[in-house]
Amino acid sequence: MPQTLDQDQGDQRPDSSVDETELLSRLRAGDDAAYEELVRTYSPRLLAVARRIAGTDEDARDVIQDAFLNAFRSLKNFHGDAKLSTWLHRIVVNSALMKLRTRKRKPEESIEPLLPSFQADGHYAEKFSSWGDRADEAVSRTETQELVRQRIDELPDSFRTVLVLRDIEGLDTEETARVLDTTPNAVKIRLHRARAALRTLLAPHLGRGEL
Amino acid sequence: MKCRECDAFLVDYVSGELPAEVLATFELHLSRCRNCRTYLEQYRATIDAGKTACDAYKEGLRMPEELIQAILAAKPKAPS
């Protein structure tokens, strides 16, 4: 049975304020303790990144293991022109995307039913009601946050990855296009559709301000 | 500009990348169309909700000890 990933129950988190230069020189010197420090310091946040892109706990576990192994093997190519955390983040993103590409998948479901429709005269077919402050209040609650993440997971892979890379991980359009091997315009179109679909999925919950 | 065109420009509008010549027409439409203003508000709230929910997950995720041990055990002897 696949093991699920858990949230902290008040455990002490590793100190992320490490001296990256010092850690890097210890890693290059083959210091085993430095490698353990690297894994313990950076892996929780990177595991979360892997989980959002890969879409399942089980795949995220595979991704994080592959990513650290790739990082260790590529240490000689890391010249410190980016932060160590940024470099590791990039490796995890690429490993997660690789996992998606190699995973046996069902054909993607169409996102069209989740997009807004328009009347013949170009107006939205639906009349929208303001969410007001109810959306902010709802999202401050742990259970709503879990629901939002579940709805993101429901998006087809090609839309979820763009939304995660752009809106969650903060990559810009060009970098997203590069890692996905597509064009900036295709990224913008997919991002817009992913946001619109997620809005539709969240509307029954955020519009009411409750689950 | 109609709602359909307004919708197509949303992605550039929220990232501040809408060209000036389109921006004026876009904002004129918004000023006249309550439905598009509401949709824009929900579109932005959706982006914020995704970010908030996923950042909270990142902050709270526990790295399983057995997964850490598996990563450490898989390490080659020295960088190749």
Q: Which of A5, A64, A75, A12 lies closest to A39 in space, CA to CA?
A: A64
pLDDT at A210 over 90: no
Continuous H helices in B1-80: 3-14, 20-32, 34-60, 65-73
ipTM over 0.85: yes
CA distance B25 to chain A (A): 16
Q: Is A26 on the interface with B (CB under 8 A)?
A: no
pLDDT at A12 over 50: no
| A-interface mutation test, from B11, B18, B34, B69, most A Cβ less than 10 A away | B11
- Give residue A10's pLDDT band: very low, low, confident or very high (50, 70, 90): very low
Q: Which of A172, A170, A168, A169 is nearest to A184 (CA)?
A: A172
- The pLDDT assigned to A77 comes to 85
Nearest CB to B46; choose among A5, A35, A199: A199
List average pLDDT for each run of 10 residues in chain B, which is 80 residues long. 94 94 95 96 96 91 92 76
The set of residues, in sequence order, having a beta carbon less than 8 Å from that of A181 and lying 6+ positions away, is none
DSSP code for B15: T
Task: Tell me the pLDDT band of A80, cut-offs 50, 70 and 90.
Answer: confident
pLDDT confidence of residue A76: 84
Q: Does B8 touch chain A (CB under 8 A)?
A: yes
Q: Which amino acid, A30? A: G
Instruction: Using alpha carbons, select from B19, B57, B68 the residue that is nearest to residue A147.
Output: B57
> Predicted confidence band at A16 (pLDDT cuts at 50, 70, 90)?
low
- Residues of A whose CB is below 8 A from B69: none
* Residue of B42, B52, B75 lying closest to A35 (CB–CB): B75
Which amino acid is present at A169?
Answer: E
Query: Which residues of chain A are within 8 Å of residue B70 when distances are taken between CB atoms?
Result: 65
**CB count in 10 Å sphere of residue B11:** 22
Question: Taking chain A, what is the end-to-end CA distance rounded to the nearest angstrom?
Answer: 29
Mean pLDDT calculated for residue range A68-92: 88
Give yes or no for B63 touching A (CB within 8 A). yes
Of all residues in chain A, the percent with pLDDT exceeding 90 is 63
Min CA distance, B26 vs chain A (Å)?
A: 14
- Spatial neighbors of B20 by CB under 8 A, at least 6 apart, are none
- Per CB-CB distance under 8 Å, the chain A contacts of B43 are 195-196, 199
Compute the average pLDDT of residues A190-199: 98
Q: Is the pLDDT of residue A37 over 90?
A: yes
Q: Is the pLDDT confidence value at A82 over 90?
A: no
The reported pTM is: 0.87
pLDDT score of A148: 97
**Residue B75: its chain A contacts at CB < 8 A?**
32, 35, 68-69, 72
Band the pLDDT of A211: cuts 50, 70, 90: very low
**Burial track A171-192 (b if 16+ CB lie within 10 A, e otherwise):** bebebbbeebeeeeeebbebbb
The tens digit of pLDDT for each residue in A138-171 reads: 899 999 999 999 999 999 999 999 999 999 999 9
Burial classification of residue B35, based on how many CB atoms lie within 10 Å of its CB (0-12 exposed, 13-18 middle, 19 or more buried): middle
